[in-house]
Structure 1
Amino acid sequence: MKKLIFLFSLCAMCLSSFSQGVEKYRVKLDLSNVVNDELEVEITVPKVTKDVVEFQMPKIVPGTYSISDFGRFITRLDAYDTTGNPIAIKKLGVNRWEIRNAQRLKTFRYRIEDSFDTKLDNVIFEPAGTNFEEGKNFVLNNFGIIGYLSDMKNYPYEVEIRKPKKLYGASSLPQKMISPDKDIWLAKDYFHLHDNPIMYCEPDTATIPVGNCEVLISVYSPNKILTADAVKENVGATLEAQRKYLGGILPVDKYAILIYLFDGASLSGSAGALEHSTSTVFSFPEGDPEQLASSIRDVTAHEFFHIVTPLNIHSEQIHNYNFIEPKMSKHLWMYEGCTEYAAQHVQVKYDLMSEEDFLDVMRQKMLVASVYNDTLPFTKMSKHVLDKYENQYGNVYQKGALIGMCLDILLLEKSNGEMDLQQLMRTLAKEYGAHKPFEDEKLFEIIGEKTYPEIQAFLETYVGGPAQLPFAEILNKVGVEYAAEKEVSKITFGGISLGYNIEKQLIQVNGLDNANDFAKKIGFKTGDLLYKLNGEELTPTAFQDVYNRFVKETQEGDKIEITVLRKKKDDFKEKTLKAKAQKVNTMERHYVKMMENPSEEQLKLRKAWLTAKE
């Protein structure tokens, strides 16, 4: 019944939001007709008034920060006039085709290949790609299938998709028509279309009401390992906490979680998700269902917060996005960094994570951030993330989140606990919403005007400048001890070097050069694949959580069993290794711990930081 309510609400919305008489793009796809792993696309275009236009496919799409060149997946492109006669096309580049005498232009037809199993170079990360698996699954990131005319991206789109009756299409897009063998989806313009993926598969769906927002979950699991109901059970509490964290009213009324699971290895060798304004596409390997659902919950916590930024708060570069030659914003620290911080902070604030675990998460971010260039101004990296600083992008989820943490604490201190980072975001959203961008160069000044001069100075010094974040000074305000390095005694995993075996999708022992006594007693060998630790599977998605619990909960002398897959001739055989847990003295970098005797002032600020207001 909830599914029917969701669908009827979509239909009602689209009838009131889209005019029937407006010039628009009309797109036709037939999922029942896949030939050589290709779909045929037909696009009827709005009336063209220019002599010369370009048909374009995106080179880059928001949220990916790398070149995709979706035009390369087109194997044949033809154009026709109103009478069905061909019109000459000149290819200008990978993603651009020129059409002259364009007033005659009526229709494009082309065949396009999916990206999930392409033989082309420059493999696309699956959540940003396309999958055409006839009769089973279609991941339709629309930017990888449907193009547009230059200077005509603001026209509405109507997308008609014919399909096998057994397949169900899930998306946040409004629908004009739903029938057993045909759906019609509506988009306000190309940006709206590109920002709303669709996934077709045999229906396995669930819905969650989150305040004023209806969240749709759709799962494709080829071996039925994971169900939508299992995901719902895992993400429900987190989504409700996020609603409270964002002030109770969400800026969207529908959201889609589209989960594609694969059996074996993906072409990119990666797993993860790509956020959109009102949806997220996941691509994960099938595995332990509890670990899968847990991993999806953790990623959803990040992606769902993108309904705040960049959906509601963004610069001109995002508002007027150029899919061929995009200009990057300076503020990835806010779009991705503060979003990642919020995804962790919401869990501790609403008792989904302990304070100690939260500090450990932030410490891990300090450790990972240290492998990046810590004196490179974050705004400079962000501005040039597509070229010379491409290899620094991963730091947005590390140092970017730490910037968010520091900013949150400073805001609480200056406002005596009244304004935090989320209150700042809500303040910005009142002036700079979905339809009004801010000037990229003026954001620090804008924030300073709405908060305190010290906040602007912090941003200019530590985000716009080369200075390293002052962790000791800021964490001291909330009664947290910080040391860049400190000797500690802790449970050891052996001091072994680890890597990733793509073929087996397991963590691998890469080397024993720094192995300690525990590693020798338990008997690790180079090439061992880590399969289980005390009975818990060590999948790539679960490894960090299992390892963290091992270090935190194990006592010296406890019996430890580690199951490895060890190569024997041409195959791997299970072998269980046993030893007693050992502690070692080690220098711990980025040491963080709650102070044993914080002052009353520190406790008050810590409470404002880590505890939800009653």
Structure 2
Amino acid sequence: MNYLFLFCIALTSVCAQTYHDYQISFPQAVHHEAQIAATFTGLEDKTLELRMSRTSPGRYAIHEFAKNVYNLKATDENGKSLTVTRPNPYQWDISGHHGTVRVSYTLFANRGDGTYSQIDETHAHLNIPATFLYAPKYPQRPVRVKFDVRQDLKWKVATQLKDLGNNVFMAPDLDYFMDSPTEISNFSLREFTETSNGKSYSIRFALHHGGTEAELDTYIAQVRRIVQQEKSVYGELPDFDFGQYTFLACYLGHVSGDGMEHRNSTVLTSTRSLKDGGMKGNASTVSHEFFHCWNVERIRPKSLQPFDYTEANMSGELWFAEGFTQYYTSLILRRAGIITSQEYVEGLSGSLNYVWNSPARAFFTPIEMSYQAPFVDAATSLDPVNRENTFISYYTYGSVLGLALDLSLRNLDNGLSLDGFMQAVWQTYGKHEQPYTVRDLQLALETYAGKEFGQSFFSTYIFASNMPDYKRLLAGVGVDFAQKDASRAALGVSLQVQNEAATLVSHPTQGSAAYAAGLTKGDRIVSLGYKPIAPGTTAEKLLAEFKVGETVEVGYERFGKKQTTSLTFQADPSYRTSLQVSPSAAAQKKQKEWLEEK
């Protein structure tokens, strides 16, 4: 169902509905605690079911937020204690009420990122699912929340929630509330206006950092160029609710680096200050997350509708939703003038090498890689996994497929590009918030570029795991794609050299020299070619002593036992990307159309 339609209906009727009311205060912020109270009225069921979410919008894995809730108490409207039972670890059932339940509890929170909450005397960085209990049987009830800010710490509130005044904010329903992160701190605020389709939108940037106002002024100019270049991809801005979009940025040493998109806002956290590399380094997260306000927030996979707060959320479209967004992340920085063409082109090699040389393509297609998100998207596990050989991030896989599709469309010589395709998908699915499937994307490409082209791309690269001809595609825009150094010997595994041993710290890549020799993660190589590992050497110096094709005896230790094996060095499979020195006039023209400001 069209969420935009439901959102508008909710706004027009919100005054006539019964609210769920929350209040949060921070008297023990020094101990990372918040005190939370909630009032639920007009209850129809004899038992009120309350839960803490197990997931968070924008994440796909399970996160057990209930573990940080304690000291929970429930009363009726007269202060009488009510019976609370726990049918499972995530739920509280409250019975004996007469239509009104008041709940209070303590929350511990000390991770500042896009998924969790962090409370201390610098800020209250709140991700809503990690903070507030909710009533799952009343998803259409509007929500009000009052933030009792610490006046002594000069705290203010930044959020996409509707401001009702006096630090009270409103969400039209549960989904909007859960999707509305909030930063409460003594942040600095900048604001600029962008117009689209005759409407003006306020783009707000709330930054909590230890830098200067001048640094923020310089940074906000970059942010504005990013916003404008991403708007040019789609031809217009989304119709932001309440007429505004809010960046919630924390660039502090005690947060965890992250970015998380939401409907009309995004969380940006980084340990890098603007002074110490963040001016350029943090801009990539701005680019990625703002692009999401089109791609994933409104151009939304059907598999993520509705979002499930009780289970992991699996989608086969993340190669597009996350991966194509990742492709545009650096491309937009280039178009905005934040990085040079050389920096952009040379930066492509990392992603291309990762996907091009991965054995994981033999196991999973891009769609199946997307299915892995609940296991890898900030998920935790104790048992070891073999990701080096079985998994390619859907971010990176999708980004190199986005590159291939963009260059392939440009090679058709009829004015097509990935920009044009994204506009077509936006107009068909995103603008009116009609969820899509993989087959819908294929149909959109067939409509945009022709049935033969669309069927070929999807059957070859999406429903199968073949690799495009990047050498040919990149040459068409004046970029070389060539093996970095075919004479350099490689083992196909990461080594940590210390204490006169080279320890394998990753699983060897399937088919590599180390894999064929029967070596595995944790083995300690003590000699290569009868030479002991010299004190002070490095992995690079160690391998430089040998030639491609050379066979040597390897002495190693496994589980404390000394063993030997035979190993034949292979060529380093890494590729490099670089601007051609003298590209053709046609390639120069296409490169300019691809990389230059729009």
Q: Please indicate, yes or no, whether the TM-score normalized by the shorter chain is above 0.5.
A: yes
3-state SS of the aligned residue for 2:184?
Answer: strand
Deviations along 1:495-517, whole A, 9 cap, x unmatched? 99699xxxxxxxxx996133289
Mapping of residues 110-121 of structure 1, within 5 Å: 110-116=105-111
In structure 2, the residue matched to 1:447 is 444
Mapping of residues 23-422 of structure 1, within 5 Å: 23-32=18-27, 34=29, 36-100=31-95, 104-116=99-111, 126-134=113-121, 136-165=122-151, 166-178=154-166, 183-211=167-195, 212-221=200-209, 228-252=216-240, 253-263=243-253, 270-285=256-271, 287=273, 289-369=275-355, 370=357, 373-375=360-362, 376-387=364-375, 395-414=393-412, 416-422=413-419
By how many angstroms is 1:288 displaced?
A: 6.4
Residues 411 and 455, structure 1, Cα contact 8 Å, conserved in 2: no
In structure 2, the residue matched to 1:575 is none
By how many angstroms is 1:587 displaced?
A: 5.6
Residues 252 and 273, structure 2, Cα contact 8 Å, conserved in 1: no
Given the alignment, which residue of 574, 582, 585 partners 1:589? 574
Tell me: CA distance 1:603–1:40, structure 2 relative to 1, closer, same or farther (3 Å): same
Residues 261 and 293, structure 2, Cα contact 8 Å, conserved in 1: no
By how many angstroms is 1:104 displaced?
A: 3.3
Mapping of residues 426-505 of structure 1, within 5 Å: 426-433=423-430, 436-451=433-448, 452-453=450-451, 454-484=453-483, 486-487=485-486
3-state SS of the aligned residue for 2:139?
Answer: coil
In structure 2, the residue matched to 1:609 is 594
3-state SS of the aligned residue for 1:405?
Answer: helix
Residues 258 and 280, structure 1, Cα contact 8 Å, conserved in 2: yes
2:97 and 2:468 map into 1 onto residues whose CA distance is 55
1:292 and 1:510 map into 2 onto residues whose CA distance is 33
Deviations along 1:462-486, whole A, 9 cap, x unmatched? 1222223432243244343323555
1:54 and 1:460 map into 2 onto residues whose CA distance is 46
The CA RMSD over aligned residues, in Å, is 3.6
3-state SS of the aligned residue for 1:161?
Answer: strand
Given the alignment, which residue of 513, 516, 534 partners 2:539? 513
Residues 251 and 308, structure 1, Cα contact 8 Å, conserved in 2: no
| Deviating more after overlay: 389-398 vs 23-32 | 389-398
1:51 and 1:434 map into 2 onto residues whose CA distance is 41
3-state SS of the aligned residue for 2:58?
Answer: coil
2:593 and 2:231 map into 1 onto residues whose CA distance is 18
3-state SS of the aligned residue for 1:62?
Answer: coil
Tell me: CA distance 1:422–1:223, structure 2 relative to 1, closer, same or farther (3 Å): closer
Residues 215 and 274, structure 2, Cα contact 8 Å, conserved in 1: no
Partner letter of residue 145 of structure 1? T
Residues 482 and 591, structure 1, Cα contact 8 Å, conserved in 2: yes
Residues 210 and 243, structure 1, Cα contact 8 Å, conserved in 2: no
Partner letter of residue 400 of structure 1? G
Tell me: CA distance 1:235–1:106, structure 2 relative to 1, closer, same or farther (3 Å): same
By how many angstroms is 1:408 displaced?
A: 1.4
1:594 and 1:60 map into 2 onto residues whose CA distance is 43
1:221 and 1:608 map into 2 onto residues whose CA distance is 37
Partner letter of residue 406 of structure 1? A
3-state SS of the aligned residue for 2:411?
Answer: helix
2:98 and 2:360 map into 1 onto residues whose CA distance is 52
> Gapped runs of 5+ residues in structure 1?
1-12, 117-124, 490-494, 500-508, 520-585
1:380 and 1:450 map into 2 onto residues whose CA distance is 25
By how many angstroms is 1:434 displaced?
A: 6.5
Partner letter of residue 428 of structure 1? V
3-state SS of the aligned residue for 1:273?
Answer: strand
Residues 14 and 142, structure 2, Cα contact 8 Å, conserved in 1: no
By how many angstroms is 1:93 displaced?
A: 2.5
Partner letter of residue 374 of structure 1? R
Structure 1 residue runs of 4 or more that deviate by more than 6 Å after TM superposition: 13-16, 223-226, 495-499, 516-519
Tell me: CA distance 1:216–1:154, structure 2 relative to 1, closer, same or farther (3 Å): same
3-state SS of the aligned residue for 2:49?
Answer: strand
3-state SS of the aligned residue for 2:399?
Answer: helix
2:596 and 2:218 map into 1 onto residues whose CA distance is 28
| Deviating more after overlay: 183-192 vs 45-54 | 45-54
Give % identity: 17
Partner letter of residue 512 of structure 1? T
2:27 and 2:582 map into 1 onto residues whose CA distance is 68
Tell me: CA distance 1:235–1:42, structure 2 relative to 1, closer, same or farther (3 Å): same
Tell me: CA distance 1:612–1:240, structure 2 relative to 1, closer, same or farther (3 Å): closer
By how many angstroms is 1:296 displaced?
A: 1.9
Tell me: CA distance 1:371–1:467, structure 2 relative to 1, closer, same or farther (3 Å): closer
> Gapped runs of 5+ residues in structure 2?
1-7, 380-386, 489-493, 499-534, 546-570
3-state SS of the aligned residue for 1:126?
Answer: coil
Residues 74 and 81, structure 2, Cα contact 8 Å, conserved in 1: yes
Mapping of residues 559-570 of structure 1, within 5 Å: none
3-state SS of the aligned residue for 1:149?
Answer: coil
1:364 and 1:193 map into 2 onto residues whose CA distance is 38
Tell me: CA distance 1:600–1:402, structure 2 relative to 1, closer, same or farther (3 Å): same
3-state SS of the aligned residue for 2:540?
Answer: coil
**Number of residue-to-residue matches in the alignment:** 503
In structure 1, the residue matched to 2:5 is none
By how many angstroms is 1:191 displaced?
A: 2.0
By how many angstroms is 1:103 displaced?
A: 6.3
1:105 and 1:594 map into 2 onto residues whose CA distance is 67
Deviations along 1:121-158, whole A, 9 cap, x unmatched? xxxx7332212224x31111111111211232232111
1:15 and 1:333 map into 2 onto residues whose CA distance is 33
By how many angstroms is 1:99 displaced?
A: 3.6
In structure 2, the residue matched to 1:424 is 421
By how many angstroms is 1:300 displaced?
A: 0.6
TM-score computed with the length of structure 2 as normaliser: 0.74
Residues 323 and 396, structure 2, Cα contact 8 Å, conserved in 1: yes
Deviations along 1:440-468, whole A, 9 cap, x unmatched? 35334432443222223312321222223
In structure 1, the residue matched to 2:383 is none
